[in-house]
A and B are shown apart, each in its own frame.
Chain A
């Protein structure tokens, strides 16, 4: 993704939901997209698949995707949002799973029919073959009695079971990239662990790339190779998980990591928080979006321009004036 900008033109003003986001995912890699609610994570991945709700629009940027085989690289952002190529990419080459499994299935159709539909859209199969494949997929993700479950309705599934079904549906067409938008936020901790384990296993088996959206830093540590930290639509820091976690550079990343309550460590301590609160999307701070809450705020610099990306190491980048003087124009 190169310099993606997604803006929403509302009556009240312009909301810059995604303001110049760049990151990349390698084949077989797992990248986590982290940030507080409202920082633009979901909009970013929806934009990748041209699934934005109006009045959202991709204003600038490219989404370069290397599809199957030797096809070369294509820019998804430039494709016709509802055209045949984009529809083939959705579900067939890039799959998306959602936060609330119960809301992501149609309540009046069986789970099996919805998974079967996904299969038949991208793979050349008859209805019977698709059904058999659905059963196989369901058992692969750990749904017991798949032959019976296939004809049941979503509300007859538990949350965790339905999330597994959604994963089955997403994997049914062997996508190159799986985007998981907070897949475990709506689940209890035990189920969360199971789903994460499932995802890890499947990722290893299929070798697909995963973009994992979450606001839970612990999940990031468990799942991802690389992490991209976002704030108010901009990338503030990105790099390998180990590097970013052990040596966070951006004040925001540092504050995030500090705010995780330690499981060991003495008695009663005040929980560390980040001062202030997230500004209203219509009242974006000038310059660096984090400056009103930043403990290392430099007046005259941070509120005047937006910082350009500075390289700490070969794959570790930060957007902060503490590490570079250049600013974005």
Chain B
């Protein structure tokens, strides 16, 4: 009939849709949300920054040079009289006659060339691979060795490099924390949803109780209780666990909710009736319906983790110097006077906001794409 006359175009397309796997379908749906795709790219960039922070930094983040305190950010000029010649200007310092403060001006007479992949102090990429070249740097100059893309802090440390390393710590805490929450959440949520009854009630009460405690005071209390003499690594993991202690409850609720609703679905009953064992039903039938949601929920939980760590470190209760995270960096931005005079100290805040926005949009896009009943 007329259906055959429609030709191969439509029929072929329908075929592709019918045989596409669940993941391909999710990918196609995800692609349509352009905002989510852009956010996904930003997330990827953040992750790459975290991995390659050694390379992206322009120097040692802990090197403090008192003579270079509170330098404003130096911008790179890319052209010199029409030629491609990236350079920064020299720095002159003088005492401002009005405020009696030391101010720094750019010295247009001194042009210091800047190179990509410049050779600088040797370092180890990811702490393992020895390397010598960084993304940007100054090579072979008699007086200047560093550029300060984001200025310096009160100890003369390069803020750009510190931001790069801070990205690594903050992002990784977010990831690790989310893994812990995921594990606890899936475990408890699964048990709760699957067995129901008394087990479910008990776990639910505990979850309600935990959610009713104001989190910040609780975290502050726990974090303050950490012994001062613990190494950075131990504090890092302790902070991660503290943050996850409440966060797993949301994951557990999502998992439990999904379990409960899926249990009632007809396809589960059908699987049971056709003779599948309980294990097979859980892993082969119910799990695929849940995985995509769990991935979306996990992604959406990351910004919360990052903000929590930032908040705790900002208050001096989480990571402490010499560890570097966005929160530690923001400690210097605590009072109005400081940021009024040195506004570049607030740039880590922008990094936090960017990360939170990116993960939120990305996670939203994932969740919409994963919902089998969505548009």
Check if A281 is an interface residue, CB within 8 A of chain B.
no
Q: Which A-chain residue is minimally distant from B3 (CB atoms)? A: A292
**Chain A residues, CB < 8 A from B1:** 292
Check if B2 is an interface residue, CB within 8 A of chain A.
yes
Q: Which A-chain residue is minimally distant from B6 (CB atoms)? A: A283
Chain A residues numbered 27-83 whose CB sits less than 8 Å from any CB in chain B: none
Q: Closest approach, in angstroms, between the C-beta of A306 and any C-beta of chain B?
A: 17
Chain B residues numbered 1-41 whose CB sits less than 8 Å from any CB in chain A: 1-2
Chain A residues numbered 274-302 whose CB sits less than 8 Å from any CB in chain B: 285, 292
Q: Closest approach, in angstroms, between the C-beta of A298 and any C-beta of chain B?
A: 14
Q: Closest approach, in angstroms, between the C-beta of B53 and any C-beta of chain A?
A: 43
Chain A residues numbered 127-167 whose CB sits less than 8 Å from any CB in chain B: none
**Chain B residues, CB < 8 A from A292:** 1-2
Count CB-based A-B contacts (< 8 Å): 3
**Chain A residues, CB < 8 A from B2:** 285, 292
Q: Closest approach, in angstroms, between the C-beta of A288 and any C-beta of chain B?
A: 13
Docked complex Cα distance between A292 and B1 (Å): 8
Q: Which B-chain residue is minimally distant from A286 (CB atoms)? A: B2
Q: Closest approach, in angstroms, between the C-beta of B315 and any C-beta of chain A?
A: 44
Docked complex Cα distance between A285 and B6 (Å): 12
Q: Closest approach, in angstroms, between the C-beta of A150 and any C-beta of chain B?
A: 37
| A interface, size bucket | under 10
Chain A residues numbered 226-266 whose CB sits less than 8 Å from any CB in chain B: none
**Chain B residues, CB < 8 A from A285:** 2
Q: Closest approach, in angstroms, between the C-beta of B40 and any C-beta of chain A?
A: 23
Docked complex Cα distance between A292 and B6 (Å): 14
Q: Closest approach, in angstroms, between the C-beta of B13 and any C-beta of chain A?
A: 14
Q: Closest approach, in angstroms, between the C-beta of A200 and any C-beta of chain B?
A: 40
Complex interface bits, A284-326 against B, C-beta within 8 A gives 1, otherwise 0: 0100000010000000000000000000000000000000000
Docked complex Cα distance between A292 and B2 (Å): 8
Q: Closest approach, in angstroms, between the C-beta of B83 and any C-beta of chain A?
A: 51
Docked complex Cα distance between A297 and B1 (Å): 12
Docked complex Cα distance between A285 and B1 (Å): 13
Docked complex Cα distance between A324 and B2 (Å): 25
Q: Closest approach, in angstroms, between the C-beta of A225 and any C-beta of chain B?
A: 39
Docked complex Cα distance between A285 and B2 (Å): 10
Q: Which A-chain residue is minimally distant from B375 (CB atoms)? A: A11
Q: Which B-chain residue is minimally distant from A276 (CB atoms)? A: B1
Q: Closest approach, in angstroms, between the C-beta of B29 and any C-beta of chain A?
A: 15
Q: Closest approach, in angstroms, between the C-beta of A278 and any C-beta of chain B?
A: 14
Q: Closest approach, in angstroms, between the C-beta of A12 and any C-beta of chain B?
A: 11
Q: Closest approach, in angstroms, between the C-beta of B336 and any C-beta of chain A?
A: 48
Q: Closest approach, in angstroms, between the C-beta of A129 and any C-beta of chain B?
A: 48
Docked complex Cα distance between A281 and B1 (Å): 19
Docked complex Cα distance between A292 and B3 (Å): 10
Docked complex Cα distance between A154 and B2 (Å): 50
Docked complex Cα distance between A54 and B2 (Å): 33
Q: Closest approach, in angstroms, between the C-beta of B323 and any C-beta of chain A?
A: 51
Docked complex Cα distance between A328 and B1 (Å): 25
Q: Closest approach, in angstroms, between the C-beta of B20 and any C-beta of chain A?
A: 20
Docked complex Cα distance between A285 and B5 (Å): 13
Chain B residues numbered 206-253 whose CB sits less than 8 Å from any CB in chain A: none
Q: Closest approach, in angstroms, between the C-beta of B10 and any C-beta of chain A?
A: 10
Q: Closest approach, in angstroms, between the C-beta of B322 and any C-beta of chain A?
A: 55
Q: Which B-chain residue is minimally distant from A291 (CB atoms)? A: B2
Q: Which B-chain residue is minimally distant from A292 (CB atoms)? A: B2
Q: Which B-chain residue is minimally distant from A275 (CB atoms)? A: B1
Docked complex Cα distance between A307 and B1 (Å): 21
Q: Closest approach, in angstroms, between the C-beta of A139 and any C-beta of chain B?
A: 42
Complex interface bits, B134-151 against A, C-beta within 8 A gives 1, otherwise 0: 000000000000000000
Docked complex Cα distance between A61 and B2 (Å): 32
Q: Closest approach, in angstroms, between the C-beta of B294 and any C-beta of chain A?
A: 30
Q: Closest approach, in angstroms, between the C-beta of B6 and any C-beta of chain A?
A: 10
Q: Closest approach, in angstroms, between the C-beta of A285 and any C-beta of chain B?
A: 8
Docked complex Cα distance between A222 and B170 (Å): 74
Docked complex Cα distance between A55 and B64 (Å): 64
Q: Closest approach, in angstroms, between the C-beta of B9 and any C-beta of chain A?
A: 14
Q: Closest approach, in angstroms, between the C-beta of A140 and any C-beta of chain B?
A: 43
Q: Closest approach, in angstroms, between the C-beta of B32 and any C-beta of chain A?
A: 11
Q: Which B-chain residue is minimally distant from A11 (CB atoms)? A: B375
Docked complex Cα distance between A120 and B1 (Å): 58
Docked complex Cα distance between A285 and B3 (Å): 11
Q: Closest approach, in angstroms, between the C-beta of B231 and any C-beta of chain A?
A: 57
Q: Closest approach, in angstroms, between the C-beta of B110 and any C-beta of chain A?
A: 59
Q: Closest approach, in angstroms, between the C-beta of A29 and any C-beta of chain B?
A: 40
Docked complex Cα distance between A219 and B68 (Å): 91
Q: Closest approach, in angstroms, between the C-beta of A42 and any C-beta of chain B?
A: 23
Q: Closest approach, in angstroms, between the C-beta of A296 and any C-beta of chain B?
A: 15
Q: Closest approach, in angstroms, between the C-beta of B14 and any C-beta of chain A?
A: 13
Q: Which A-chain residue is minimally distant from B1 (CB atoms)? A: A292
Q: Which B-chain residue is minimally distant from A303 (CB atoms)? A: B2
Docked complex Cα distance between A151 and B1 (Å): 60
Q: Closest approach, in angstroms, between the C-beta of A122 and any C-beta of chain B?
A: 40
Docked complex Cα distance between A240 and B263 (Å): 52
Q: Closest approach, in angstroms, between the C-beta of B175 and any C-beta of chain A?
A: 37
A-B contact pairs, 3 of them (CB 8 A): A285-B2, A292-B1, A292-B2
Question: B-contacting residues of A (Cβ < 8 Å)?
Answer: 285, 292
Closest 3 A/B residue pairs (Cβ): A292-B2, A292-B1, A285-B2
